[in-house]
Structure 1
């Protein structure tokens, strides 16, 4: 089949959705399909050597330059501005399916030429809903979600049944491996290192981890935060106020291909979201590196980690006491920690690779 992905951001920024599109596209191409990626004019590219993939970029108006009538309005305008230049090419590429990643792009089926054979699938990774999106969704032919929780969100809002394909992990890139990151950061062998990587926004719940470190009062616990965002200054102030400068290490964002080394330098991953995370690719990536993880019992996170306590520990969101208890469990039982890390890697290999995702998507498309 000829399959296209349309998202202005896939060639202009990094993030979970962008990673999902590139990795899923590569897996589809590896399965023998011809894949097209349509994004905004930008420099971001992933390695697609040897695969039947075509990347096309088009001019667009960045949301920051759109009159502020609300963030959703700005994002719709941004995507519509690209469509103005891209629609002729998309039509001429004569695709069998187009995958849309946001409801903001639901206008695409309505602007295709009359008689076009192209069908449209919405691949959900969250809840970017807006007024009138239900009406625009009438021409979406297939619905897929990244978790059972996310499928419920789609059912609740759009009254549509979404096939669950789950996100995946590149298990070749993300795998256990030795490195010297700990030494570079000045972290001793007898320190217990927790690692988080991602955007620093309030709903990620990192302030609760910092509070839990104050409760633990263990000078050998370290918390490495890799990322940037609007919450950085607040987190830094919190660390200073609690006198945890020796315990918490802030690190600039790194490229996606550099992330495995940072997960591998730690003893456990920690992802204490207080918002409805639809899946949690970063959690799965840490698990693929053979690390036990601590995550919140919210959204799709339990589906990634599992409820059995064999690959990681689930805690109530927003409760530093529960986080402190989970950290203590991992510190006190090294054998259990190592076994959980092994199980975490196995769980990802068995359930959450991009090949799995691609095969589930094809099934949802009736192929």
Structure 2
């Protein structure tokens, strides 16, 4: 098939949606499909390993340059400005399918001539709904969700039940590896200390304040544990102030964001991943990546996270959203039992390899397009 991914952010920023686009592009190319990525003019262009993946970038007006009439208005305006530049190239591409990732792009089917053979698929990663999107949804021919929870979200809003393709992990990059004592030493983590690691955007809805409070909880006082937060975001200053207020600043390590390919080494140096999200997570790619590295996940029972971690307690531990005491109890349980951490980590790796790879996601995507 001749398939295109269309998202202005795909070549401008890096996050879950952008990861999915590039990883699926590589996997679909390996399966023999002709792949094109349309994105805004930016600096993001991950290595494709010599694959014949066409990448086209176009000028656009960034959202922060539009009047502040709300986040949704700004996102829609940004994407509309991009469409004015990219429209002719998409038409000339004569694609079998164009994959959209946000409802803000649902206007695209109306931009193509009525004679175009191109059909549109929506690959959802959340709930960025906007006024009028139900009406525009009639132009979408195939619907995909990244988890069963996300499928429920989509069906509730659009009254269309999507196929579940799940997100994936590059299990060749994210795999168990030798712990780096040098890295742990550079982070200030001693051999006997249990390190809980988070990597991602430092935003309030990620719930990292819950992890800080859990670290300061009486149940955790007896354990030599530290918390590593890798990333940047608007919540950084608040988290640093909160750590000082709780008296755990010497047990929390704030590390700058690192390139995606460096994350496995950080996970290898950790004893468990911690992901206490407060807002709905449609899937949780960072959680799956940590698990693929052979460490257990400690996460909130939230959205699609239980589908990644499993709610039977064999690959990680889940706790109620925002429950500091339950988070502290789960952290203490992992601190107290190195054998449990090892077993959960091995199970976590096996779980991801068995179900959540990008090759599997690509196959599920193609199955949906063919059946549509």
TM-score (norm 2): 0.97
Question: Superposition pairs for residues 339-358 of structure 1, below 5 Å?
Answer: 339-358=343-362
> Any conservation in 1 of the 2:275–2:299 contact (CA below 8 Å)?
yes
**Which residue does 1:80 correspond to in 2?**
80
**Which residue does 1:196 correspond to in 2?**
198
SS in structure 2 at match of 1:295: strand
Is 1:28 matched up with 2:32? no
Structure 1 CA distance for aligned equivalents of residues 148 and 52 of structure 2? 31
> Any conservation in 1 of the 2:223–2:332 contact (CA below 8 Å)?
no
Structure 2 CA distance for aligned equivalents of residues 123 and 147 of structure 1? 11
> Any conservation in 2 of the 1:24–1:358 contact (CA below 8 Å)?
yes
Q: Give every structure 1 segment of 4 or more consecutive aligned residues whose post-TM-superposition deviation is greater than 4 Å.
A: none
> Any conservation in 1 of the 2:223–2:335 contact (CA below 8 Å)?
no
**Which residue does 1:142 correspond to in 2?**
142
SS in structure 1 at match of 2:249: coil
Q: 1:7 to 1:76 in 2, by over 3 A?
A: same
Is 1:130 matched up with 2:130? yes
Structure 2 CA distance for aligned equivalents of residues 218 and 197 of structure 1? 26
> Any conservation in 2 of the 1:33–1:52 contact (CA below 8 Å)?
no
What is the total number of aligned residue pairs between the two structures? 367
5+ long unaligned stretches in structure 2 = none
Is 1:205 matched up with 2:196? no
**Which residue does 1:12 correspond to in 2?**
12
Structure 1 CA distance for aligned equivalents of residues 337 and 48 of structure 2? 42
TM-score (norm 1): 0.99
1:67 shift after superposition: 1.2
Structure 2 CA distance for aligned equivalents of residues 186 and 67 of structure 1? 46
1:166 shift after superposition: 0.3
Structure 1 CA distance for aligned equivalents of residues 332 and 172 of structure 2? 31
1:51 shift after superposition: 1.6
SS in structure 2 at match of 1:366: helix
SS in structure 2 at match of 1:246: helix
Is 1:235 matched up with 2:218? no
> Any conservation in 1 of the 2:198–2:228 contact (CA below 8 Å)?
yes
**Which residue does 1:51 correspond to in 2?**
51
Structure 2 CA distance for aligned equivalents of residues 57 and 274 of structure 1? 35
1:242 shift after superposition: 1.0
1:267-325 CA distance string (max 9 Å, x none): 00000011110000000000000000101111000000001111000101101100111
1:113-160 CA distance string (max 9 Å, x none): 121000000000000001100011111000000000000000000000
Structure 2 CA distance for aligned equivalents of residues 74 and 181 of structure 1? 41
Structure 2 CA distance for aligned equivalents of residues 41 and 362 of structure 1? 28
1:239 shift after superposition: 0.5
Structure 2 CA distance for aligned equivalents of residues 198 and 85 of structure 1? 32
Structure 2 CA distance for aligned equivalents of residues 74 and 121 of structure 1? 23
> Any conservation in 2 of the 1:291–1:344 contact (CA below 8 Å)?
yes
5+ long unaligned stretches in structure 1 = none
1:331 shift after superposition: 1.2
SS in structure 1 at match of 2:228: strand
1:219 shift after superposition: 6.0
Structure 2 CA distance for aligned equivalents of residues 219 and 63 of structure 1? 46
Structure 1 CA distance for aligned equivalents of residues 199 and 148 of structure 2? 24
